[in-house]
Structure 1
Amino acid sequence: MSRDGRGTVSNKARKPASGGARKHDVIVVGAGHNGLTCAAYLAAAGLRVLVVERSQNVGGACVTEELFPGFRMSTAAYSLSLLLPEIIRDLKLDLDLRPRDPVAFAPYENGGGLFLWRDPKKRSEAISELSSNDAGAYSELHDLFAEAGRRLRPLLSYPATRKQARRAFRDSGIEGLFKKTIDGSIADLCEEYFESDFLKGYVASQGITGTTG
């Protein structure tokens, strides 16, 4: 569980060692990515940590499984956007992170599809096939959300209040976006910005990520 090996993971009850019960400072129930991260920090701080997990696989939403013979894939997580650089640094994780490009692909019903590239020019050219107006609108919305993300990211390290989140938007001059995205709905946002029903559908799908259980 940790660099010094002070933590253990178990998926079954163990009998106490001879001479008395096994002693732990902390017991983490569930070996999901949050539980494992918490346990790693605690173990690195010198505590004796036990992580218990009923599944044969550890990792929770970040687990990689062989769903089809020869094909291993993530069965839940699809993005590393919430993996803070501080965690990678603190836990000395040996990760080779490679950004995907295109960022997203949305297939057309009759073949082909919309590729959303990292390069703003390529992305706008792709969206222009649906609507030239939408290409500019998407870039505008993309930049607004990017700024909002930069303002909100520091709040992820503690249980921030709604008031603090609103202030983060206001300080960046985009309080109106807070009202649209937090108080409003993704459907209203799509109707305001876009002409293409296809693009509305893609953007709206991003608004329900993480809300289905």
Structure 2
Amino acid sequence: MNKDQIKKLQKNVGVNSDGFIGRDTFTALFKKLGASDVRANELALAANVHMRTYKILDSANRFVHFIAQLAHESGNFRYMEEIASGAAYEGRKDLGNVIAGDGKRYKGRGPIQLTGRANYRKYGQALGFDFENHPEIVAYPSVGMLVACKYWSDNRLNELADQDDVLAITKKINGGTNGLADRKAHFAKLKSWV
């Protein structure tokens, strides 16, 4: 994102418009989107580091697509764990849920709603956490933000954001098109802020 886009975002979220995105800007953004004060601070701490590492801040499109998708997945950053029980994922071999109880144990968590034993194992191993034996860790906002950034990068979603392809991004995150209209609405709102 360039300095002018950052200043516009800062103005829209109500912080000092200095053109340098950091923890205060992220905290204000997450609060404005619906996160509690505590959750906004935790998400901001991680976003300030990991969104840079995974090159999500390299362009406004990447930033807006990323935040829009996460806003949809997490109910505007209010939920770091899926509200449903996870029973619908029971026996889903495509998610690696092969042991009785896996559906509930590996239900969606974090702002991107990581789902399924296979994903918990994959991202835990990649990031140095034991998510498979301790899936609840993904629901910690700071850890969940790291997982979201890694998932975004691994699935080459920066490239799809560069192409402005909300449909393809949605399919990579959701496996289908659930909530597409809401995702587009989040995108349009956030795009107007930068």
TM norm structure 2: 0.29
**Greater relative contact order (Cα < 8 A, sep 6+):** 2
Q: Which one has a larger percent strand, Structure 1 or Structure 2?
A: 1
Structure with higher Rg: it is 1
Q: Which one has a larger percent helix, Structure 1 or Structure 2?
A: 2
